[in-house]
Structure 1
């Protein structure tokens, strides 16, 4: 099975469009099918804040494959075994929380690569077709196309953004405004100007190194963002539920 994450993102961006995705926190893979049918480009399968176990993750990955979405998994922390597990299950990209240094980034990159000291080799996984036939082509395709996406969501990550983006294998980053606002002790909405200024610092450094930068859309980051996310499945459900109830109550 071809790993298409980087190729897909690059193709969409090359024609002047921002790949649009959403965070998926529900364990029901039908959520991912909805996004695929609606025409989204990617989903972030969230194993950090949701209640997603390995089986639920696998369901979302199969749903993404069936509907043409690029599935990216956010792991709980910067752990090579967790990164390897997600890739072996079929993830095409990995988002790593709280990357704060070049060392953090390099460790995560190595966990995504078939190389000495990197990801463990095993052909008995779904993305490889459960066979070692064509292994060299498969491993090379994985190394070329899987996206490692550091999540910049701490003040240290912002301060060290140049060094993080200089790490070989970091070609995409994501700006996490919620945890960053908490790390700085400011309000995510009321202090939006401070966060936008930090975003501009991050995206300028990223682009200087040829790295593409993504962010949650709708918070003032859209103009400079190369790609972005539109809320999350459960947030969208809550918003729709509120709207339907409000319309009914008004009669």
Structure 2
């Protein structure tokens, strides 16, 4: 299997439940070295599409082909942790995965800037810390495809751009593909290679700037969403607080984004 062959191919994919069409006629390919972001309004079928592509739900129409032996890393949208559960972050990364020993778990945490959390209790993590730990767990097996459902859930606005920069770094380091669902339109449109806008079907797709001008996209989100970059002259700690503050700047790439 060559580097240019698709990791996953979906043809005419659809799902119908109790007579209701949740998704229909989804055709796409996912490849290495590419970040593909799925966007759409609430109820558009974004998470359902991920489940179909991962084989967690069986489609009622079309088919999904996955590269034989494909290694997947999955980060769920959210995870509820029982505060009484005595589990360390290190143990959580190894749980149910014989491929991840202690050195690999430490390496995965260091990769996402969370090495100091190895001995911390899972129940004591902040929202930003939990997202980094979940990302580390998804990347621990050195997957060929990272699948991330709302990876900045619980992360403040200041830290969202850094999470997407981290995802791009993981893509480069692991030589993997990335499929993610996000609602952070301004930030993610500047941090992805290809956008797939869905609302039960594919409304439009392509490069972020191309999609942001598509009439179907504008009908769903308006004409005030355009890619922008958030240029940091400061850093955030794992809890999202600013350290080494030297100010920050925003650069507008279109209508509707701010400049500071």
Same fold, TM-score > 0.5, yes or no: no
Higher helix share: 1
Higher strand share: 2
TM-score when normalising by structure 2: 0.35
